[in-house]
Structure 1
């Protein structure tokens, strides 16, 4: 993640943003309960334009997500939710992306969306992903019309499908299976499967336009789409073209972002407590401190010297000074001393960074079928999806200008200053003075072109009632990412100067473009840099990302025999899939020439898999006493990867309805996730963590050895064995960390088991009352051998915390300490972690006729009982359930009333808060002992505020249908303009709000949709 935006609240703590691991419990949306829980389509009451059960009731055999077998009635052995295009419009979603990332779909937990502009995320800036069950996007399989979407985005860490490639206007419905399905679909279907299904029955031309306008006036989001379709004899063609643009919403646009503070907020987070730093000039907590949102600017770092305090004027020893014209001497004239909190840390330009990043997307979709006379009444089908995404995220940068000891660019009073060893810009000299300058915004843009072309042939197999399907598909992802960056060699050239004799300076190098660095003056320290110097030290650096996926598959399915409950059916298939990645950073990145940013080498690699699978459906009984319906479904898949070998997954599910109106269902299965190409072949990327991460640094220990903890005692002894005394040793250099893929270390697949059980109740009610459907399902997922990318700090702690310490074995084999005590850590992806998610899902739906209209009420509720993980097998599980980024309860309620051409909708989403302080205990939990460190927990309570209230979002809309050709929808999202809760900066925040997609950063937003059919 970008160092200018994220800091850990403790070196051994956890970043609690959930940026890459998105916890989710999928609950039904608006009207999915009838699709999810319908057991007998004769009792179905859909309440929407179309759904799975309605299609099944039409007499057409269908394939529902999670199965390869066609059935003429919809029977769900597992919870399946359906969201229709009509519901997306009524809820104000302007894209398929927004619908999939909504609280109702994600269980109110974190996803990677447009809130993450300033962070390094999988898929690069601008990529949007979705993950189920809190297990991350890479463990959720995304399908378009039953075929997997290849990963997309930029940079080397391309792991999951980018939701931005999906069309919107031509989407018919979204089916979401909330259980593992690797035996059906292969890798990645660990937490579930999301299948986006397009409308293949469009006729004529449909125009759809929507705009979402936040009340603050910024961040307007608009889309216009054209959908078309025609049928000519044997040919059927449908397609769509779309344009969407979402403008940037900056931090300055939202009042709730103003004045982030870092201490112990009081009550509802509106006041301050004893943990806040009080600005003596205002008597109130200081905004934008280094604890939250601020960055040191207008300041120089020097060797310790006498200077008057900036606020009190009292002379003392200082290593941080700010320009002060009122100080005329005798101590450090022109400058005054500052400490951690009194230095300048706020620049208005910082608030020009995006709170929600902008994006511009062009999408084209085309599909067609052609009926043949032969090959078993075959049908040739083809599909083409093409998108171009243009996104950006301006980033505020601080520039550290390093003046070498004795540099002629330094005033006389600082000629003797020495603060650190030589670095990459001091040309072999010791660092004398560092100027912390507010540089302003720098550009960062991405362009991604994504194409998926596929097609095949399907028809009657030679066996009666059997069908075959042969498919081939190819995906191309071509991305470029450009960032305005400081170049290390140019900063060094600019610092190596010779005097011209007239008070000016020139570069010593022969480069005619070189511009000498400015003489250190208060004006320069305050950010007034010559434009020529700015232009010389920066350059737009561009990297390219190519990702390819090829798929070939063949399936057959049909009946085997008649059973008492119907026909036993079998599906068999084989699939071959190959992926290739080629990410090439800019040459300056490869050479490590990006100042203040990580270096990286190309990520290149390929992998291929061969698979065979089978699924058997057995309708054992029907319409007999105590067995209105009894069925079993089993599937198995054999997988053989080039990278790590073979594996077998399986799944068994069943359904028993003793009488009409009540049924029990359950499933048990195994799943897996093959290591992604990025995890296997990520090019070695260098970065830095602060010198304080050195376990032997004296600042990591109490002053009195008698107060050492058990872990500190072991670490101190290990440091002493290599000649470092933890009572006096100070690390003066940053720790270099190299991160690379795990192919060479034998990275293998993650494995998991997933089971669930539930009950569905649909009591027969008089027609005058209406229809009622209730369901309750328990889920339990355990992921083992999880692929983990160990941080440099974790490796260092593990190395120096070993009882049997050795510099060449264990975790220490990844650590190198040179003669100058500079540390280098090498990290790669390995199989270590374990994740467990358990809970309950409840759904209720009631519909009836009232006052000549139709009323539908849908309620959804998810109760998590565990959301735990551990990095190492010998550790205790750490349960995040109930903390502010992993809610224990998530719910939603939708009320829809339709009468004539008018449909009214009101909805409420609910995410439970952390009112009991579970977050404090979570951060103070010791994975090695399995206990909460009560002293540490109390310290957190005294100095930070992490409690959050329950969070409610209300929305409302009204829809008008006119003559079946025109439809208008208007509404409002976040009706009461609910701001995100405020917490301390003890974890990753945006202002005082958690960095967390479950909260709304945009505020009250009005939307309008118009649809026309011709």
Structure 2
């Protein structure tokens, strides 16, 4: 993580980060800055480079830093700081959590956006504003990363990215790198700005409006920004490639489709209900015992246990045709409902943001000043989903017509006891909502240490708070159960609670007779309308409810930093920084009471998440100039830093970092660092409330363990529990997942090595300026915090020789429940996994005059050598480099031509082809599934006209309307599992919007 701060005022002009200056200390900017930067940079002294707390007189950081100027991000069409941070030029193609994950269970809850460097996860990337931490925020219990929605945009001057470990400088979380958002200072006047982005196809429009203003006096200054941002809903119906979710399977020899052909349409079948392809999820279907009847088109045999309404059928099961059972293909069943296409492809969101900053010099010399910052953000996001309802009717219920009476079977119903009939109903759309208020206030004092010459200090305290509510809609188990358990209504009973039964006689809920205050609405009669999803609204209102939870996260911080010279050597002054920090964090997530008590039909329970942690830290950093102005040694500088950390949660730890910068000639520099970093377990990883889930009874290792091929250890261990070899498991395996504080979860640790070179040859006059940087990185993480998974826990426990007497994972598996032999697994967060990431960053920049203007070319290529991980120490590493969503190569480049007030830009993004056949254990010569995607490229064009007081930018992103590539459904294995949207991987490197035009207008008053 790399922070740039200034000397007295804390400002560093945008120009400082461009041109030759930025090249020397960084892996050059992905987006260039104006050509006037070089001369302005020379006039500025004593800055603090991100990744360090020392002021420097030259740009000589041993760490590679990427700098992106916001003005260039506007030219590139970025609509927010989050948008900028998630683009592949910053993340090297790593998958990011964005608005495409609204329908998934994710850290931070739906609508949260985060950034992950090097593909190591958002929890291992530290985000700062002006060198100070930005607290995590979001909804639900798993809040552990900065939500990019909270960041300001219009007042941002630049973004600095350090892609190497820096815990010795910044503390926990800085394993993969640090991102520092630097705001503008010394603002005079008011600037209004508006931007609108419109896809050529409908959906996903974006609009942003902002005001940035400031003023100052002799000893004070104040500035701030006010912003509004909106992204409209982008649904599955809005894009061609998401309207029909296919299996997308091909004959490996001929390339011809082998997808299931719908016998009704004669076309490959769409499976939009879950988005996972051919999986048996169905609507408009009735489940019964096996009955002889008339089969639907495409069915085989005469006995069926799944039926579709068909009024033309008069024999067998009148009014129904068979669509499943025996050797029937389950895909004959209905899977398509037009309402499934109303689901959100990209979640809509609105944000309101205010950022303010002020400072006042306490003396006329400006030797000390007080300062303050305040950030407020409100996020309103929502998602549209689609729900199937499995509604179970008792076998002889008055709601069941005569021809279906007694035709049911045991479904393991949550709604009633005994055999019954199950209606698989296409219920329709549901909605999730999140509203989050986030604020962070900072105040401090900084200035010269009068009793120590040339030393400065900075002491500040911060308070941050996030409070969010989250709403989802769910069927309530008790209400739904009440509604299907009906009796004949007494004469004169409340007519609002009575409906005709299957035989026309009025019925009411049995609970209404014992508890009149319940006001239960009886379920509809089991008929074709009900099965087809045409449902009475009063019944829907009774059993389908809004479920609301609340999440609070708080963080208090106090930091003291001092830096200055300590003594002089022949090569220069030795600099030192020392400091201390205290942080207190607290989380309080309270799910809806129905969720806590397990009353959400077919959903897991969620217990409250409550806990806190405190950390005390001291740190120091030193820079020693060893040699200077000697043959083959223009400069040789050593840097070192160390930090001692003590957490209430797990104890103390040390981290360190050493580095050097060697310049054998003026045109060449060699830099290298080695250090350790750590990540303290997030509060949710310590305190997450227990959530219950279930594995199939077939996951029980002792199920029919006497069969041939079963591991000998499993046989012995199951026999030791008194189970017979032909034991048949009938109980699902309960998996309780939660925080690992009680089990002693500790911090992750890592080692980070980097070495690189910067080359800036002096070209002949008229040839321009050329810079090239090459940096190698090697990051190894040990003791990674993870959950093992219920299936893996069971397998390793029952396959062990020690079993209950000593196998480590068996302590997570309960003794079998008396009478039922049910197993309960505790799958808490623990320290067990490891990962290794290595690669090269190539950065090039060339600037020269062309005709009446000048042109700048920037390019950043990242090549990964390894991206591998493992869960257990005794396992070999699994290599993910080059597999789906984990590219081996990514390239981000742009060409900008400047002429007077005009700028013309062409941008290019490229992601290499990816292949997961080997990882999943598939043979592409014989397997019909497609687990490979070709390389992917995007092209962007824009033009900008800008004067001193107004400007306009017009551009188009994804100019050639490139769609995401396709993969097959069912790509799931022990080492990886891939989710899709439409027929494409859910991967942030792909553009889901399509071709779109944007206009940005600004005016300064």
Question: Following the alignment from structure 1 to structure 2, what is the Cα–Cα distance between the partners of residues 206 and 312?
Answer: 66
Using the TM superposition, give the Cα deviation of residue 633 of structure 1 relative to its aligned residue in structure 2, in angstroms.
Answer: 0.6
The counterpart of 1:285, out of the listed 241, 255, 268, is 268
Task: Select which of 676, 679, 701 maps to 1:673.
Answer: 679
Query: Which position in structure 1 is the counterpart of 2:367?
Result: 377
Counterpart pick for 1:785 among 772, 783, 798: 783
Aligned to 2:493: none
Q: Distance in 2 between matches of 1:663 and 1:747?
A: 42
For the structure 1 residues 88 and 760, does the alpha-carbon distance in structure 2 shift closer, same or farther, using more than 3 Å as the test?
same
Tell whether 2:503 aligns with 1:506: no
Cα pair 2:400 2:525 within 8 Å, conserved: yes
2:219–2:364: 8 Å Cα contact kept in structure 1? no
Q: Is the 8 A contact 1:841 1:863 kept in 2?
A: yes
Q: Distance in 2 between matches of 1:247 and 1:44?
A: 31
The aligned runs of 1:41-80 (5 Å cut-off) are: 48-49=33-34, 56-80=41-65
1:165 to 137, 144, 150: 150
Contact 1:33 1:858 (C-alpha < 8 Å) held by counterparts? no
CA contact (8 A) 2:175 2:677 kept: yes
Aligned to 2:11: none
* CA distance, structure 1, for counterparts of residue 31 and residue 301 of structure 2: 78
CA positional deviation for 1:61? 1.1
Equivalent residues in 2 for 1:376-415 (5 A)? 377-415=367-405
Task: Tell me what 2:532 maps to.
Answer: 526
Among 412, 418, 430, the alignment partner of 1:442 is 430
Aligned to 2:746: 748
Which has the higher mean CA deviation after the structures are superposed, 479-488 or 31-40? Answer: 31-40
By how many angstroms is 1:38 displaced? Answer: 1.4
Q: Residues 51, 499 of structure 1: CA spacing in aligned structure 2 closer, same or farther, 3 A cutoff?
A: farther
Cα offsets for 1:923-962 (capped at 9, x unmatched): 12xxxxxxxxxxxx22895131011000001101000013
Change (3 A) 1:884 1:78: same
Contact 2:94 2:117 in 1 (8 A): no
Q: Do residues 572 (structure 1) and 578 (structure 2) align?
A: yes
Separation (CA, whole Å) in 2 of partners of 1:350 and 1:716: 46
Deviation at 1:104, TM superposition (A): 1.0
Describe the SS at the equivalent of 2:541.
Answer: helix
Where 2:95 maps in the other structure, the secondary structure is coil
Distance 2:37 2:89 in 1: 19
Match of 1:919 among 916, 919, 925: 916
Q: Shift in Å at residue 345 of structure 1? A: 1.2
Match of 1:178 among 149, 155, 163: 163
Equivalent position of 2:356 in the other structure = 366
Measure the CA separation in 2 of the matches of 1:835 and 1:52: 40
> 2:30–2:859: 8 Å Cα contact kept in structure 1?
no
Q: 1:1004 to 1:378 in 2, by over 3 A?
A: same
Q: Indicate the larger mover: 328-337 or 656-665.
A: 328-337
Map of 1:981 onto structure 2: 965
- Once structures 1 and 2 are overlaid, which stretch shifts more, 772-781 or 492-501? 492-501
> d(CA) in 2 for partners of 1:380 and 1:595?
56
Separation in 1, partners of 2:980, 2:83: 22
Distance change in 2, residues 1:653/1:54 (3 Å):
farther
Partner of 1:879: 879
User: Where do residues 427-506 of structure 1 align in structure 2 (5 Å cutoff)?
Assistant: 429-461=417-449, 462-500=451-489, 502-506=504-508
Contact kept in structure 2, 1:465 and 1:559, CA below 8 Å:
yes
Deviations 1:67-86, CA, capped at 9 Å, x for gaps: 00011221121110000011
The range that moved more, 54-63 or 470-479, is: 54-63
SS at match of 2:742: helix
**Displacement of 1:609 after TM fit?**
0.4
Q: Which residue of 1 aligns with 2:755?
A: 757
Task: Check 1:317–1:199 CA distance in 2 against 1; reply closer, same or farther (3 A cut).
Answer: same
Matches within 5 A, 1:123-138: 123-138=108-123
TM-score, length basis structure 1: 0.90
Greater shift, 494-503 or 61-70, is seen at 494-503
In 2: Cα distance, 1:475 partner to 1:44 partner: 31
Matched-pair contact (CA < 8 Å) for 1:44–1:53: no
2:6 — aligned with what? none
Deviation at 1:355, TM superposition (A): 0.4
Task: Find out whether 1:999 has 2:990 as its counterpart.
Answer: yes
Q: Please, which moves more after superposition, 113-122 or 785-794?
A: 785-794
Taking the aligned partners of 1:807 and 1:735, their CA distance within structure 2 comes to: 22
**1:519-564 CA deviation, whole Å, 9 max, x = no partner?**
2112111111111110100111111111100001111100011223
* Aligned mates of 1:463, 1:293 — CA distance in 2: 73
Deviation at 1:594, TM superposition (A): 1.2
Determine the C-alpha separation between the residues in 1 that align with 2:713 and 2:924: 24
Structure 1 residue 832 corresponds to structure 2 residue 827: no
Is residue 967 from structure 1 mapped to residue 969 from structure 2 by the alignment?
no
Q: TM-score, normalised by structure 2?
A: 0.91
Looking at structure 2, the residues matched to 649 and 54 of structure 1 have their Cα atoms a distance apart, in angstroms, of: 38
Structure 1 residues 400 and 913: alpha-carbon distance in aligned structure 2, compared to 1, 3 A threshold:
same
Alpha-carbon spacing, 1:376–1:1005, altered in 2? closer, same or farther (3 Å): closer
Partners of 1:950 and 1:51 in 2: how far apart?
Answer: 37
Match of 1:341, SS state, is: helix
Root mean square deviation of aligned Cα: 2.6
| Residues 832-859 of structure 1: per-residue CA shift (max 9 Å, x gap) | 0001111111011111011010100111
Q: Counterparts of 1:451 and 1:104 in 2: how far apart (Å)?
A: 29
- Residue 688 of structure 1: aligned partner: 694
In 1, distance between residues paired with 2:214 and 2:756? 41
| Segment drifting more, 276-285 vs 450-459 | 276-285
